[in-house]
Amino acid sequence: MRRFLALLEAGLKSNFGLSVLRHRLLRQKKDLWMVPLVALAAVSAAPLLYYYFTLLKSLYNLLAPIGQQAALLTFGLLAGQLLILIFGLFYVISAFYFSKDLEVLIPLPVRPFQVMLSKFGVILANEYLTVSLIVLPILISFGVLGRRGPVYWIEAALVYLLLPVIPLALVSVLVLLLMRFVNLGRRKDALIIVGSLLLIVLAMMFQFWINRSSRLEPDSAALVRFFASPDSLPQKTGSTFPPSVWATRALTGGLSAAGLAQLLIYAGVSIILLIGMAAGAEALFYRGLVGLAETSGRGRRLTGAEISRRLSSGRRPIRALFLREWRLMNRTPIFLLNGTLTVIIIPVMLLVMAKAGSTDSDLTSLFRLLSSKNALVSVLVSAGFMTICGSLNGTASSALSREGSQFWISKIIPVSPRDQVAAKFLHSYLVALLGIVAASAVLLAQLRIPPASFALAIGLALAVTFILTAAGLAVDLARPLLDWINPQKAIKQNLNVLIAFLADLGFLAFLGFACRFLSRLGLAVHAVLLALGLVLVFLAGLSWHLLGKFAEARYPAIEA
């Protein structure tokens, strides 16, 4: 146990780097600019959090009269667990098999399950932060609005602590099996990517099947029977992933026999999966590591003419650096899965969820109703959806960090910092464009948007994405994370990504409030959109100019 706790403590210190940050801020007086920047990012996200709590209050008041308020709990717990289940796959693969500290840990006198469980504990700590903005407001709102007693808050803390365990343990077992059989030397990276995508596809197919099979019967008698039980809506909502139903019943049951039984089931399944994962680690963990450090080329020798042609190609610096960025992203499975593929997976998941429900989902109907009343809503919501799918993936805000210990190469090559950052910008913007294209396809498949509104939405999304990409790069320029041992840390555990994410949300909220203000002044829709477009074009040009100047000033000061 002491060895496991020592490994866990070391992993947590390495993951969060709080001691290093405290030393740089308090002792060396460096990175002091981070304090107001983080505070500004938090303040910019406060309005969104306020509206989130307001929405939760409205939903609770809507469900309470029919006795279905527990569905709010189920929805929040289910959203958090499904988020962990799907995207935790990338995290687990990176932490278990691509960490550079494995070369140090394997020779130590510790068991494989101790190494794996220590890494699992670090992942848990990160997932608590990941789902906190989704789940904690729901737990708090339900307790406050329902005037729950101390027992609820104690059980809510236990439920939240166990929330990531079941999905992460399931993912870990699947990853152990995946890495045991796909780690085949020269093709391991491609097989890991294909295997990961296959697991995601299977998860979405399972959810599609569950939602299709759990539809309500259309007759009135079935509706009466459905709403007669206060457990019916939570049961239907959580049918995709039963642990969310167990947790809901535990929280609503309190100290009753039924409530305690559900809590025991929830905790018992979590413990059983942890034990199974530890047993699997003893048998499969180190076997899956064999051959991961191997690399291989294509095995063909270049002729003298080919060597001469490649060396004298005279490729333009920005183009060459853009190709380097593209290859670095696509040849590292963790970067590819968390960056490029995320912008495609998220819109596809939303489309599958919409198609798995009724032929005309409630959200679709609501959107069409609002669009029919106000064309501005149609344009802004569509543009916002495209922007979120394209920009909020961490590619721009980890552009320098992904180079890691190899950043010294960027400092010595005869290319100006402005050109290097331009190449990184083009790569990040291209990834965002893929997300915009995927989001556009989803909108066209699910919603009947007028062509003019759709074209305006794309134009606004392109302009906003340009600004957000430049802002993300500026954040990573200010404090690149280069000393990582796990590639996942460069893109998902990177504080820069969180800062950029909060800043992006704040900027989008500001644009929304500005459009609402202009609309209330009585301006026509086309006037509001014209003003918004002109402001965005100006900000895009300004952000590009400032990014280049910041790169020239910042690159020499970065310690490689």
Which residue reads 């006795």 in tokens? 67
pLDDT at position 224 over 70:
no
Of residues 551 and 55, which shows the higher confidence score? 551
Of residues 194 and 390, which shows the higher confidence score? 390
Q: How far is CA 491 from CA 238, 324, 334, 392, 436, in A?
A: 31, 17, 9, 12, 20
Of residues 166 and 522, which shows the higher confidence score? 166
Of the listed ranges 26-40, 121-135, 149-163, 318-332, the least confidently predicted one is: 26-40
pLDDT band at 135 (very low <50, low <70, confident <90, very high): very high
Q: What is the pLDDT of residue 432?
A: 92
| Cβ partners under 8 Å of residue 300, min gap 6 | none
Q: What is the pLDDT of residue 227?
A: 45
Residue 425 · residue 473 · CB < 8 Å? yes
* DSSP state letters, 137-206: HHHHHHHHHTT--HHHHHHHHHHHHHTTHHHHHHHHHHHHHHHHHH--GGGHHHHHHHHHHHHHHHHHHH
Q: What is the pLDDT of residue 137?
A: 92
| Cβ partners under 8 Å of residue 25, min gap 6 | 31, 32, 34, 35
Q: Where does 128-192 show beta strands of DSSP type E?
A: none
Which residue reads 């699910």 in tokens? 446
pLDDT band at 236 (very low <50, low <70, confident <90, very high): low
Of the listed ranges 100-114, 211-225, 271-285, the least confidently predicted one is: 211-225
pLDDT at position 466 over 80:
yes
Find the farthest-apart pair of alpha carbons in the chain and give their distance in angstroms, rounded.
81
pLDDT at position 360 over 50:
no
Q: What is the pLDDT of residue 291?
A: 53
d(CA 261, CA 259): 5
Residue 194 · residue 91 · CB < 8 Å? no
Q: Would you state the structure tokens that stand for residue 300, as one six-digit string?
A: 């063909």
Secondary structure of the chain: what % helix, strand, coil (to 5)?
A: 80, 0, 20
d(CA 495, CA 487): 14
Residue 335 · residue 402 · CB < 8 Å? yes
pLDDT at position 251 over 60:
yes
Q: What is the pLDDT of residue 226?
A: 44
Q: What is the pLDDT of residue 309?
A: 58
Q: How far is CA 470 from CA 7, 390, 405, 460, 556, in A?
A: 38, 14, 23, 16, 19
d(CA 45, CA 242): 32
pLDDT one-digit tens code per residue, 180-223: 666 544 555 665 666 666 666 666 666 555 555 555 444 444 44
The residue-averaged pLDDT of 6-15 equals 79
Question: How large is the angle between the packed helices 243-253 and 257-280, nearest 10 degrees?
Answer: 140
Q: What is the pLDDT of residue 17?
A: 64
pLDDT band at 136 (very low <50, low <70, confident <90, very high): very high
Torsion of CA 78, 80, 82, 85, to 10 degrees: -140
Q: What is the pLDDT of residue 348?
A: 77
Of the listed ranges 54-58, 139-143, 276-280, 448-452, the least confidently predicted one is: 448-452
Report the amino acid identity of residue 433: L
Instruction: Kindly tell me the number of DSSP H helices and DSSP E strands found in the chain.
Output: 26, 0
Q: Would you state the structure tokens that stand for residue 259, as one six-digit string?
A: 């409530």
Q: How many CB atoms lie within 10 A of CB 218?
A: 8
d(CA 340, CA 390): 10
Q: What is the pLDDT of residue 284?
A: 78
Of the listed ranges 150-154, 290-294, 500-504, 554-558, the least confidently predicted one is: 290-294
pLDDT one-digit tens code per residue, 34-93: 667 667 766 767 777 887 888 888 888 888 887 778 888 888 888 888 888 877 777 787
Residue spans of the domains in the chain: they are 1-40, 71-216+229-291, 315-560
Report the amino acid identity of residue 72: L
Q: What is the pLDDT of residue 281?
A: 82
Angle at 90 between CA 88 and CA 95, to 5 degrees: 90
| Cβ partners under 8 Å of residue 401, min gap 6 | 476, 480, 481, 482, 484, 490, 491, 494, 496
Closest CA to 239 of 226, 252, 228: 226
pLDDT band at 228 (very low <50, low <70, confident <90, very high): very low
Of residues 103 and 383, which shows the higher confidence score? 383
pLDDT one-digit tens code per residue, 446-458: 777 778 888 899 9
Q: Is 198 helix (H, G, I), strand (E, B) or coil?
A: helix
From the number of C-beta atoms within 10 Å of its C-beta (0-12, 13-18, 19+), residue 2 rates as exposed
The residue-averaged pLDDT of 222-236 equals 52
d(CA 315, CA 295): 27
Q: How far is CA 256 from CA 211, 228, 250, 527, in A?
A: 31, 21, 9, 60
pLDDT at position 100 over 80:
no
Mean pLDDT of the chain: 78
From the number of C-beta atoms within 10 Å of its C-beta (0-12, 13-18, 19+), residue 549 rates as exposed
Residue 86 · residue 127 · CB < 8 Å? no
